């Protein structure tokens, strides 16, 4: 299409609503709203409803002002004054004042109009009163904000919700007003979005919030740049009288959208943009005037500085736990397939599986991880702990007990390392590890970052007779810590503990009485949640009377303490499926467990099994190891090789990149096909014909000026056949069909423009879109083959 001369390039178009103008407004609005949403998420107490509406109104005002025939300075002054008034009304909730002024003004006008006939003097007092009231309220808001800013800069008051809302609202208004005005007036989206992007980047860097809110800003800005650049080119072409297709702008928009999506996806997968250095530089400059003043100003503006990073111990989330937890045993086949770790103890040699093997012949182990000492009614917690780091193979302090043995276990996690699991009391680990110590040399937990380790532990193996003969001379620290219960424990729980153990002669018999009582309860995972104020033990003992391991273990610990037996809650895994062929325990999520341990002087902590879903513990009837000299000695631990961490490899990144590119190509192709189908038939086939001309130039087809469409089609077909024949069978099968498809496109063009009475049918339109989808990729492939040197250029 040919445009007339006389229009200067670069001037804004007339204030006429066109699809191009509307689309530009929508894209810019999305960018501005993303900036406002990012500030609302990063600034404390800044309401998103306020800044989003402010951004919408301000950008629209700037857009309209840019379209009006006025100087930029005067337009900016109007925009700022309107913004200040809008913010004062919005933050001060002065809408009622404005409504009263409007009603009073309407009444005054009506009285003035009928004054001649009624002879009643118009009363303008209400209008004046409401106007003065509005000015008074606005003055209060302004003075409050000025006073807050003055105190803030002087190091006084550091927070005021009204002042902060006005300051941040004005900042969002100015950034949005600038964006709307600059993009509409000059067509330079990067310049318009830059202030908002800088402010948002600095705020995100300072507060440590997620930078992904910058991705919509980046993508929208790139789309706007592509749209505005094409608009400038079309204006310049029209000024010079150059012909071009009306649909070219839509094509450029689609391409720029696809490229923007691809760049945003790349930025999301591998973020490389950072403003941390800028934020650090600004902080360094402001700290020259005093560190305390900088912090005061930041806090007053609602910015909470990101704390200095510190090492996070993996054990921190486990210092306290509430019930119900998910240490669920036997919960279903899905958990039995989720392997957690594999443990080898060397107690049994590998052997072939026979019908004479019994699970009872396999030693039973309780893989201990965490021990809790404080019960608070809703769950368990530990007393304060102190972490100490140990080198590989370093021994830790272990209290010697009677009738115990050492055990060396090799543990391999299926996943990342974390808490150390051992049966009994930990003695040493062959990898660097850390121990969380409570007072009196008591271990809460141990951790390691390695996925495989060997650990030595001390396992207590007293007989029932030895436990029945244990004294009740508990150390003071045991009594003060492991006999304590909160005052909130109901009286009936204490009474039940007394009733169950009143006639039992020894501490061990009392523990068995409590254990056996609880084992009568039904084991089930289908239990209702306790109330917010319910004591867990009381709820389980008197209302549920069914449940799973967490409830059983908690109830036994509480009952044992009420009966005078020092006890604690332990979390870990029990047993596992024993693999006879490889002599190892395969521990799955289904083996997660919680159990109680009771302290016996001289023998240490002894585990019990009150859970009905597990078999009871069978203890030896006679002593097998009686003193330290008969305990087997283990060789010192030597670190073993661990499996390297397997992160994302080049193949993973390559596949991710290929998937992202394929998604972008598919999206762009789909949008292009839809845009073709939505256009008028003559415009659709013209666009396809122009695209085919562009491909012909890329392929260096011999096309001469003055060729008819049919001659042009034959030139393209000959060139495609030349390229396909040079690639043998593959070229013939893949590229050569493009010759006939190009003729079909030209045939539709000729039918549309040279036989207007006949036209093309809806079926032909749909077929043309599908035809171009096939033809496009063949032509691009032919171009790649020509560029690779397999096909020669145009012949002279």
Q: HSE of 95 in the Cβ direction (CA atoms, 13 Å)?
A: 3
Q: Span 570-594, mean pLDDT? A: 89
- What is residue 711's predicted lDDT score, i.e. its pLDDT? 84
CB atoms within 10 A of CB 334: 10
Query: Cα 566–569–573 angle (5° rounding)?
Result: 140
- Measured CA to CA, the distance from residue 330 to residue 591 in angstroms comes to 7
Q: Report the C-alpha gap between 566 and 482 in whole angstroms.
A: 5
DSSP string, 426-479: EEEESS-EEEEEETTTEEEEEE-S-SEEEEEEEEE---HHHHHT------HHHH
Q: Crossing angle of helices 737-754/709-725, nearest 10°?
A: 170
Residue 752: predicted pLDDT:
80
Q: What percent of the chain has pLDDT over 90?
A: 18
Q: For the whole model, what pTM was predicted?
A: 0.46
Going by the DSSP 8-state scheme, the letter that residue 641 receives in this structure is -
pLDDT, position 627:
42
| DSSP structural state of residue 679 | S
Task: For residue range 371-424, list pLDDT tens digits in order.
Answer: 999 999 888 988 888 899 999 999 988 887 888 889 999 999 887 768 899 999
Burial class (CB in 10 A: 0-12, 13-18, 19+), 450: buried
Separation between Cα atoms, residue 708 and residue 537, nearest integer Å: 93
CB neighbour list of residue 261: distance below 8 Å, 6 or more residues apart: 219, 664, 667
How many CB atoms lie under 10 A from the CB of residue 481? 18
pLDDT at 232 over 70: no
- pLDDT tens for 255-308 read 666 666 666 666 556 544 444 555 555 555 555 444 555 555 566 666 666 565
- Report which listed range, 498-512, 715-729, 747-761, is most confident: 498-512
Between CA 671 and CA 649 the distance in angstroms is 33
What's the whole-number average pLDDT of the chain? Answer: 77
Is residue 630 pLDDT above 70, yes or no?
Answer: no
Q: What is the mean pLDDT of residues 24-38?
A: 86
What are the pLDDT digits (tens) for 484-535?
Answer: 999 889 989 988 888 888 778 888 988 999 999 999 999 988 888 888 788 9
Gap between the Cα atoms of 251 and 684, Å rounded:
12
| pLDDT, position 626 | 40
User: Whats the size of the chain, residue-wise?
Assistant: 796
pLDDT in tens, 608-629: 999 987 888 988 764 444 444 3
Q: DSSP label at 245?
A: -
DSSP state of 99: H
Per-residue pLDDT of 101-141, as tens digits, reads 888 888 888 888 877 677 777 787 888 888 888 888 777 67
63-72, 478-487, 737-746: which is most confident: 478-487
3-7, 454-458, 547-551 — which is least confidently predicted?
3-7
Confidence of residue 749 (pLDDT cuts 50, 70, 90): confident
The three-state secondary structure class of 705 is: coil
- Exposed, middle or buried by CB within 10 Å (0-12, 13-18, 19+), for 37? middle
C-beta separation of 57 from 179 below 8 A: no
Are the beta carbons of 121 and 115 closer than 8 angstroms?
Answer: yes
What pLDDT is stored for residue 754 in this prediction?
79
Is the N-terminal amide bond of 205 cis, ω within 30° of 0? no
Residue 10 tokens, joined: 């670069």
Residues near 393 by beta carbon (within 8 Å), at least 6 away in sequence: 428, 429, 430, 636, 637, 638, 639
| Helices 681-699, 762-787: crossing angle, 10 deg rounding | 10
Q: Is the four-CA dihedral 317, 319, 323, 325 of positive or negative sign?
A: positive
What pLDDT score does 519 carry? Answer: 94
- Do 83 and 58 meet the contact criterion of CB atoms below 8 Å apart? yes
Greater confidence (13 vs 435) lies with 435
Condensed to tens digits (0 to 9), the pLDDT of residues 45-95 reads 667 778 889 989 998 999 888 888 888 888 888 888 988 888 888 877 778
Q: How far apart are CA 7 and CA 675, in angstroms?
A: 29
How many other C-beta atoms can be found within 10 angstroms of the C-beta atom of residue 148?
Answer: 22
User: How far apart (Å, rounded) are the C-alpha atoms in residues 619 and 617?
Assistant: 6
Q: What is the pLDDT of residue 567?
A: 95
């Amino acid at each position: 299409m040919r445009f007339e001369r006389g229009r200067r390039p670069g001037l804004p178009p007339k204030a006429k609503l066109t699809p191009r103008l509307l689309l530009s407004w929508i894209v810019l609005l999305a960018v501005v709203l993303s900036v406002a949403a990012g500030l609302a998420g990063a600034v404390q107490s800044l309401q998103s409803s306020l800044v989003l509406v402010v951004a919408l109104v301000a950008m629209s005002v700037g857009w309209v002002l840019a379209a009006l025939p006025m100087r930029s300075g005067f337009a900016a002054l109007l925009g700022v004054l309107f913004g200040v008034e809008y913010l004062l009304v919005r933050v001060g909730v002065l809408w009622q004042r404005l409504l009263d002024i409007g009603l009073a003004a309407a009444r005054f006008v009506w009285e003035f109009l009928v004054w001649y006939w009624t002879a009643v003097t118009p009363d303008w007092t209400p209008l004046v009163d409401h106007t003065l009231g509005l000015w008074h309220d606005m003055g209060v808001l302004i003075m409050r904000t000025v006073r807050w800013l003055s105190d803030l800069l002087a190091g006084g008051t550091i927070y005021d919700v009204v002042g902060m809302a006005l300051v941040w609202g004005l900042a969002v208004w100015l950034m949005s007003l600038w964006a709307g005005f600059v993009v509409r007036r000059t067509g330079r989206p990067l310049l318009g979005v830059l202030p908002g992007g800088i402010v948002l980047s600095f705020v995100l860097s300072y507060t440590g919030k997620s930078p992904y809110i910058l991705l919509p800003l980046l993508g929208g800005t790139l789309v706007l740049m592509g749209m505005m650049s094409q608009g400038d080119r079309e204006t310049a072409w029209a000024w010079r009288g150059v012909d071009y297709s009306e649909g070219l702008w839509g094509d450029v928009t689609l391409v720029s959208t696809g490229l923007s999506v691809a760049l945003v996806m790349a930025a999301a997968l591998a973020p490389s943009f950072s403003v941390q250095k800028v934020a650090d530089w600004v902080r360094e400059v402001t700290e020259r005037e005093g560190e305390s003043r900088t912090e005061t100003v930041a806090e007053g503006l609602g910015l909470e500085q990101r704390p200095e990073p510190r090492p996070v111990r993996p054990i921190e989330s486990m210092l306290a736990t509430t019930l119900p937890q998910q240490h669920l045993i036997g919960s279903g086949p899905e958990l039995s397939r989720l392997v957690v770790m594999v443990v080898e103890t060397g107690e049994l040699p590998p052997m072939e599986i026979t019908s004479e093997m019994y699970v009872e012949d396999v030693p039973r182990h309780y893989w201990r991880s965490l021990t809790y000492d404080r019960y608070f009614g809703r769950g368990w917690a530990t007393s304060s702990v102190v972490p100490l780091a140990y080198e590989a193979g370093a021994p830790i302090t272990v209290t010697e007990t009677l009738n115990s043995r050492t055990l060396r276990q090799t543990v391999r996690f299926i996943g990342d390392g974390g808490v150390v699991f051992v049966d009994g009391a930990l003695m040493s680990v062959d990898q660097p590890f850390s121990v969380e110590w409570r007072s009196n040399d008591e271990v809460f937990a141990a951790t390691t970052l390695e996925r495989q380790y060997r650990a030595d532990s001390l396992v207590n193996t007293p007989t029932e007779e030895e436990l029945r003969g244990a004294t009740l001379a508990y150390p003071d620290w045991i009594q003060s810590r492991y006999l304590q219960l909160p005052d909130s424990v109901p009286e009936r729980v204490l009474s039940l503990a007394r009733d169950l153990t009143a006639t039992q002669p020894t501490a061990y018999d009392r523990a068995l009485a409590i254990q056996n009582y609880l084992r009568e309860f039904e084991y089930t995972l289908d239990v209702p949640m306790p109330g917010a104020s319910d004591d867990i033990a009381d709820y389980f003992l008197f209302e549920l009377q069914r449940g799973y391991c967490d409830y059983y273990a908690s109830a036994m610990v509480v009952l044992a303490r009420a009966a005078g037996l020092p006890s604690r809650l332990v979390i870990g895994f029990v047993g596992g499926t024993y693999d006879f062929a490889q002599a190892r325990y395969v521990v799955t999520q289904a083996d997660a467990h919680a159990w109680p341990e009771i302290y016996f002087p001289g023998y240490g902590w002894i585990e019990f099994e009150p859970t009905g879903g597990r078999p009871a513990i069978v203890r030896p009837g006679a002593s097998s190891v009686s003193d330290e000299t008969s305990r087997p000695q283990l060789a010192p631990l030597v670190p073993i090789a661990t499996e390297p961490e397997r992160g994302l490899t080049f193949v993973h990144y390559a596949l991710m990149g290929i998937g992202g590119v394929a998604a972008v190509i598919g999206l762009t192709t789909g949008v292009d096909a839809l845009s073709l189908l939505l256009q008028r038939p003559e415009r659709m086939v013209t666009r396809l014909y122009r695209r085919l001309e562009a491909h012909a130039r890329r392929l260096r087809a011999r096309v001469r000026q003055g060729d008819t469409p049919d001659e042009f089609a034959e030139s393209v077909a000959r060139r495609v056949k030349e390229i396909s024949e040079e690639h043998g069978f593959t070229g013939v099968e893949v590229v050569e069909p493009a010759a006939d498809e190009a003729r079909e496109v030209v045939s539709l063009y000729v039918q549309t423009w040279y036989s207007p009475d006949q036209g093309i049918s809806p079926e032909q339109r749909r077929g043309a879109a599908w035809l171009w989808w096939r033809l496009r990729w063949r032509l691009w492939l032919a171009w790649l083959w020509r560029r690779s040197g397999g096909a020669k250029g145009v012949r002279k």
